[in-house]
């Protein structure tokens, strides 16, 4: 994200429509301006103006795919900034999610940009620590045992300059969940393997097929669902 004055950053997110767009974009997908307009409940022209301001501030980037144009979060640092700020506010990703059932779904499992958040995300961090798959003695690291388990589950970790693992404060649970390349790979593989399903508006449905692999990661999903 560009180095801009703190006051300017605050001004970018001070507008409720732009805040709603940023929260919607935390699902990790690229959105059209029309879709963002619907999420923020504004006209397409107004949404376009907001996207321009978000782009100028370095919060989002525009992506061209053929004749179509999409908008997405600029990079993981921006996503984590927005997620962290959300814990100090009462915003929800989309205004229509205020019903208690939908809010509970978000609190149980949702995306935070490209990784898993909510109760399940926090439990995943706890479980991997407890079972020795990751270690936090000198900063979060993936252990040899952790690599073996992920390989067995078919989780492939992409290369890149991003940290393998880092903590990300969860705005609903108020504890850390996992971010970084390992966490992104777990979410991506979980969706493709049929363990998880994106339900829209950042909500993630944990499917029955997730119980066995998540147990390997130290998470008892049955107990987690129990009151």
Q: Considering only CA atoms, which of 43, 21, 78, 70 is closest in space to residue 202? A: 21
Mean pLDDT, the chain, as a whole number? 86
Digit-coded pLDDT (tens) for 19-61 = 889 888 887 778 999 999 998 999 999 999 999 999 998 899 9
Confidence tier at 95 by pLDDT (50, 70, 90): very low
Digit-coded pLDDT (tens) for 111-139 = 988 899 999 999 999 999 999 999 999 89
CB 62 within 8 A of CB 52: no
The predicted structure's pLDDT at residue 5: 63
Instruction: Tell me the average pLDDT across 174-203.
Output: 92
- Asked if residue 92 has pLDDT above 70, the reply is no
Helix (H, G, I), strand (E, B) or coil at 178: strand
Structure tokens belonging to residue 45: 């022209």
- Asked if residue 145 has pLDDT above 90, the reply is yes
Instruction: Tell me the average pLDDT across 153-169.
Output: 90
Q: What is the CATH number of domain 6-96?
A: 1.10.10.10
User: Which residues touch 17 (CB under 8 Å, ≥6 apart)?
Assistant: 40, 41, 42, 46, 47, 50
Q: Considering only CA atoms, which of 134, 130, 151 is closest in space to residue 213? A: 151
Q: At what angle do helices 33-40 and 16-25 cross, to 10 degrees?
A: 120
Confidence tier at 184 by pLDDT (50, 70, 90): very high
pTM of the model: 0.74
Instruction: Tell me the average pLDDT across 185-198.
Output: 96
Dist CA 29 CA 68 (whole Å): 15
CATH 1.10.10.10 domain span(s) along the chain: 6-96
Confidence tier at 177 by pLDDT (50, 70, 90): very high
Dist CA 15 CA 168 (whole Å): 24
Taking CA atoms, 3 is separated from 7, 9, 162, 180, 197, in Å, by 12, 9, 19, 22, 36
Q: Which long-range contacts (CB under 8 A, 24 or more apart) does 60-64 make?
A: 60/22, 60/25, 63/30
The predicted structure's pLDDT at residue 11: 83
Instruction: Tell me the average pLDDT across 171-187.
Output: 91
Digit-coded pLDDT (tens) for 57-90 = 889 999 887 778 899 898 888 887 887 776 655 4
- Asked if residue 98 has pLDDT above 50, the reply is no
């Amino acid at each position: 994200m560009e180095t801009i004055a703190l006051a300017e950053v605050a001004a970018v997110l001070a507008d409720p429509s732009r805040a709603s767009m940023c929260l919607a974009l935390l699902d990790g997908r690229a959105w059209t301006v029309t879709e963002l307009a619907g999420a923020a409940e504004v006209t397409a022209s107004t949404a376009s103006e907001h996207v321009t301001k978000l782009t100028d501030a370095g919060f989002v980037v525009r992506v061209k795919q053929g004749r179509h144009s999409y908008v997405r979060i600029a990079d993981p640092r921006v996503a984590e900034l927005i997620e962290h700020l959300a814990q100090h506010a009462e915003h929800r990703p989309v205004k229509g999610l205020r019903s208690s059932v939908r809010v509970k779904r978000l609190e149980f499992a949702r995306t935070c940009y490209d990784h898993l958040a909510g109760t399940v995300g926090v439990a995943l961090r706890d479980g991997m620590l407890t079972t020795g798959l990751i270690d936090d003695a000198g900063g979060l690291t993936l252990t040899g045992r952790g690599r073996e388990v992920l390989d067995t589950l078919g989780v492939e970790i992409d290369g890149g300059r991003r940290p393998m693992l880092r903590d990300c404060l969860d705005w609903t649970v108020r504890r850390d969940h996992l971010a970084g390349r390992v966490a992104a790979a777990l979410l991506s593989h979980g969706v493709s393997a049929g363990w998880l399903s994106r339900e829209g508006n950042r909500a993630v449905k944990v499917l029955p097929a997730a119980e066995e692999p998540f147990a390997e990661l130290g998470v008892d999903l049955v107990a987690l669902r129990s009151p």
